[in-house]
Amino acid sequence: MDTKWFDSHKRAIEHEPHAAVEFCNRVFVYGTLKRGHGNHRLLRNSVFLGSGSTAQRFPLYVRGLPYLYPQPNSGEHVLGEVYQVDPQTMARLDKLEGHPRFYCRILIDIQGDPDYPPARAWAYFINSVMESSEPVAEYVGRMGQLS
């Protein structure tokens, strides 16, 4: 995996992992945080802004849980949901995702309505290489099974 893109983003946030919350209060969720899934409860006080997909292609692997790999221009335009979150919710999401050690939160472009330019939102990328199957475009998983 070419990690130059990921490593540059990771180095920038390792020193201050929560510093940019005021800059962008949107988060793109593609797995267990989506509506109908077990971890969605963490977004109960957040504003749903709409569905969308990653503007760049990224590999999304599912191995029990979904893992978005930081390898741009490979895989698919991943489908998900965008939420406006407050700093407390972002901190809870960071804790759930193990940011920055397990997943790493990185700003990416999300395409919603094709008539408008992409919007920036945080997305969580896996922080290590994992063996898996073929990438998918959307995590469907078992709705409501996680606690």
Q: Give the residue numbers annotated as catalytic, written as ranges.
A: 97
**Structural domain includes residue 25:** yes
Dihedral of CA atoms 126, 130, 134, 140 in degrees, nearest 10, equals -50
Helix and strand numbers (H, E) in the chain are 2, 7
Q: Is the dihedral of CA 44, 50, 56, 57 positive or negative?
A: positive
**Structural domain includes residue 144:** no
pLDDT of 124 higher than 90: yes
**Structural domain includes residue 35:** yes
pLDDT of 134 higher than 80: no
Q: Which domain covers residue 74, as residue numbers? A: 4-126
pLDDT class of 127 with cuts at 50, 70, 90 = confident
For residue 79, count CB atoms less than 10 angstroms from its CB and return exposed for 0-12, middle for 13-18, buried for 19 or more: middle
CATH code at position 25: 3.10.490.10
* pTM for the model: 0.79
Query: What are φ and ψ of residue 8, in 5° steps?
Result: -65, -40
Overall domain count for the chain: 1
